[in-house]
Amino acid sequence: MGSGQWHVEKRSTLRNDSFLKEYAPVSETGSLAIIVLGASGDLAKKKTFPALFNLYHQGFLNPDEVHIFGYARTKISDEDLRDRIRGYLVDEKNASEKAEALSKFLQLIKYVSGPYDSEEGFKRLDKAISEHEISKKVSEGSSRRLFYLALPPSVYPPVCKMIKEWCTNKSDLGGWTRIVVEKPFGKDLESAEQLSSQIGKLFDEQQIYRIDHYLGKELVQNMLVLRFANRFFLPLWNRDNIDNVQIVFREDFGTEGRGGYFDEYGIIRDIIQNHLLQASVLCLVAMEKPISLKPEHIRDEKVKVLQSVIPIKDEEVVLGQYEGYKDDPTVPNDSNTPTFATTILRIDNERWEGVPFILKAGKAMSSKKADIRIQFKDVPGDIFKCMYLEQIEPFSHTKYMYRYQKNCWSKLSCNATGQKQGRNEFVIRLQPSEAMYMKLTVKQPGLEMQTVQSELDLSYKQRYQGVSIPEAYERLILDTIKGDQQHFVRRDELKAAWEIFTPLLHRIEKGEVKSIPYKAGSRGPAEADQLLKKAGYLQTHGYIWIPPTL
């Protein structure tokens, strides 16, 4: 492999030995049972099993140790489950190359059918796991059991109870039992706390992995390094220099058959409260430097940021619902559920007072992307300052802008639209086309002294050619096996996140904050752009970053 290349197989080589000794969990071996509950469902086939297959294919799951169990109510055979998921594990391009691994992987999968709230099914599940462990000659208590709940949260309490009673590792001889739970973890502060208490009575916090797959995305994982390993960000990363921060998620498709689920939750619970805020993005942008890289130290800092967020004001919220959303027969005709939301969060601490954090998410939008946009303040005493053309007759028909200085107009930095120059921005594109770029003003090459917007660009496809960026679920499942909780949501973090959004969510449910209709395939309600402007965001006109091609 050439220089500058790395693969997921080499992840550990990114960390030096002293780091490994101090922070990484001890390596674990022995029988490993991975149990996917809700194996018949959408998440299991689209994300969980493909991630397991990729880990297996890359050598992270030892075929001599691992066995995979699917569990759900649907009455199907082992072979039926294999047939259901087969098509999601490989694609046309790599099918022949992966054929052998695929067939061996599928043979590791066994299916057990049973209800989620009665002992009969879980006893059978335990028997199947134990048989596998016995076949591997594992002494009782030293095996590893990972339960992945790819299930609606409503069944978490009975399922956790059944696991605890019938399926945990029988004694502590170096083995473990861990459970992975999906979002949405609750619907508001009260229900989340109730769920946390129910599960907390059964399992220790160290056994519970609240997964938010945004925490497994490459550029989200890069945030800590970026912020704390680069000197030039340190003095700039504060209210003195940053005007506003935008964290944006857009999808160019609607709820697509998930209308029933979605209508109960809405875009704030589906995306903003978890992916954009609690788990990942806002916390990582705004947190202080942790005292070390230990997972608990990092999570302590995230909680502090969340606890510093002040209550959201209704006038700093715009909700939208795309036209056609209610055509889904599972969505009520009078639904006020937002499929789009822009909300401004304000962090009341020394670093961020006065800086709006604009969180924006929408379904059925004009494009698909997720990014973090940090916009810096205007340059003080800007000698290149532009004026709008309308203000400077009689030159209004030209493309140029002029500055009035020392009793004369001089031609200045102009862009094609004749608008004011843009501010510096640092953009982290999470997806698609992972990249980081800095928008800055430079001299337009040529004889004239004109300025132009350009960028310093680190586009991953170009910089890391031939590198395959691992899927978020792959990394996170691997972390659960290693016992690394850094990229999982701690109970107090979750509570703090719900504290921020619960009052707003309740007002929406009471119809006190209304969703504005917007056209599918658009930018969302125009009111959202007006809110952005009011918050201080200044759009750079006539400039678009285009991901470089090879």
Ligand X SMILES: NC(=O)C1=CN([C@@H]2O[C@H](COP(=O)(O)OP(=O)(O)OC[C@H]3O[C@@H](n4cnc5c(N)ncnc54)[C@H](OP(=O)(O)O)[C@@H]3O)[C@@H](O)[C@H]2O)C=CC1
- To ligand X, the closest distance from the beta carbon of 523 in angstroms equals 24
> How far does CA 294 lie from the centroid of its chain?
21
Phi, psi of 460 (to 5 degrees): -65, -40
- To ligand LXAUTJHC, the closest distance from the beta carbon of 251 in angstroms equals 6
Phi, psi of 453 (to 5 degrees): -85, 135
398-403 LR contacts (CB < 8 Å, sep 24+): none
Tokens of 293: 């890289």
- To ligand LXAUTJHC, the closest distance from the beta carbon of 120 in angstroms equals 32
Q: Report the interface residues with ligand X, using CB under 6 A.
A: 38, 40-44, 46, 72-74, 116, 150-155, 182-184
User: Which is closer to ligand X, CB of 97 or CB of 117?
Assistant: 117
For ligand LXAUTJHC, the nearest residue by Cβ is 270
Partner whose binding site includes residue 40, from ligand LXAUTJHC, ligand X, none (CB under 5 to 8 Å by kind): ligand X
Helix (H, G, I), strand (E, B) or coil at 264: helix
- To ligand X, the closest distance from the beta carbon of 303 in angstroms equals 23
Query: CA–CA separation, 445 vs 413, rounded Å?
Result: 12
Partner whose binding site includes residue 270, from ligand LXAUTJHC, ligand X, none (CB under 5 to 8 Å by kind): ligand LXAUTJHC
User: Which is closer to ligand LXAUTJHC, CB of 265 or CB of 543?
Assistant: 265
Please confirm, yes or no, whether 275 is among the known catalytic residues: yes
DSSP assignment letter at 278: I
- To ligand X, the closest distance from the beta carbon of 76 in angstroms equals 8
Partner whose binding site includes residue 479, from ligand X, ligand LXAUTJHC, none (CB under 5 to 8 Å by kind): none
Contact 130, 88 (CB under 8 A): no
Query: CA–CA separation, 378 vs 76, rounded Å?
Result: 63
* Measured distance between the N- and C-terminal CA atoms of the chain, rounded to whole angstroms: 19
Contact 55, 11 (CB under 8 A): no
DSSP assignment letter at 485: -
User: Which is closer to ligand X, CB of 153 or CB of 254?
Assistant: 153
User: Which is closer to ligand X, CB of 74 or CB of 451?
Assistant: 74
User: Which is closer to ligand LXAUTJHC, CB of 145 or CB of 213?
Assistant: 213
User: Which is closer to ligand X, CB of 67 or CB of 183?
Assistant: 183
User: Which is closer to ligand LXAUTJHC, CB of 251 or CB of 474?
Assistant: 251
Contact set for ligand LXAUTJHC, span 329-388 (CB under 6 A): none
- To ligand X, the closest distance from the beta carbon of 373 in angstroms equals 24
Partner whose binding site includes residue 536, from ligand LXAUTJHC, ligand X, none (CB under 5 to 8 Å by kind): none
Residue with tokens 């960390």: 15
Neighbours of 5 (CB within 10 A): 11
Query: Alpha-carbon dihedral of residues 262, 267, 271, 273, nearest 10 degrees?
Result: -110
DSSP assignment letter at 365: B
For ligand X, the nearest residue by Cβ is 41
Contact 188, 505 (CB under 8 A): yes
Helix (H, G, I), strand (E, B) or coil at 82: helix
- Residue 475: name the closest of 183, 175, 222, 96 by CA: 222
> How far does CA 347 lie from the centroid of its chain?
20
User: Which is closer to ligand X, CB of 264 or CB of 527?
Assistant: 264
For residue 418, give the amino acid letter.
Answer: G
User: Which is closer to ligand LXAUTJHC, CB of 283 or CB of 361?
Assistant: 361
**353-389 burial by CB neighbour count: b if 16+ within 10 A, else e?**
eebbbbbbbbbbbeeeebbbbbbbbeeeeeeeebeeb
Phi, psi of 272 (to 5 degrees): -70, -50
- To ligand X, the closest distance from the beta carbon of 36 in angstroms equals 10
- To ligand X, the closest distance from the beta carbon of 485 in angstroms equals 19
Partner whose binding site includes residue 187, from ligand X, ligand LXAUTJHC, none (CB under 5 to 8 Å by kind): none
Q: How many residues bind ligand LXAUTJHC (CB under 6 A)?
A: 3
**Binding of residue 471 to ligand LXAUTJHC (CB under 6 A):** no
**Binding of residue 270 to ligand LXAUTJHC (CB under 6 A):** yes
Partner whose binding site includes residue 226, from ligand LXAUTJHC, ligand X, none (CB under 5 to 8 Å by kind): none
Listing DSSP states for 242-260 in one string gives EEEEEEEEE-SS--TT-HH
Which residue out of 213, 275, 297, 397 is catalytically annotated?
Answer: 275
- To ligand LXAUTJHC, the closest distance from the beta carbon of 319 in angstroms equals 16
Query: CA–CA separation, 476 vs 108, rounded Å?
Result: 21
Q: How would you classify the pairing of strands 425-431 and 369-376?
A: antiparallel
**Binding of residue 133 to ligand LXAUTJHC (CB under 6 A):** no
Q: What mask, x for binding ligand LXAUTJHC by CB under 6 A, covers residues 225 to 264?
A: --------------------------x-------------
Contact set for ligand LXAUTJHC, span 198-217 (CB under 6 A): 213
Bond into 432 cis (ω within 30):
yes
Query: CA–CA separation, 366 vs 528, rounded Å?
Result: 15
Q: Which residues are catalytic?
A: 275
Q: Which residues bind ligand LXAUTJHC (CB under 6 A)?
A: 213, 251, 270
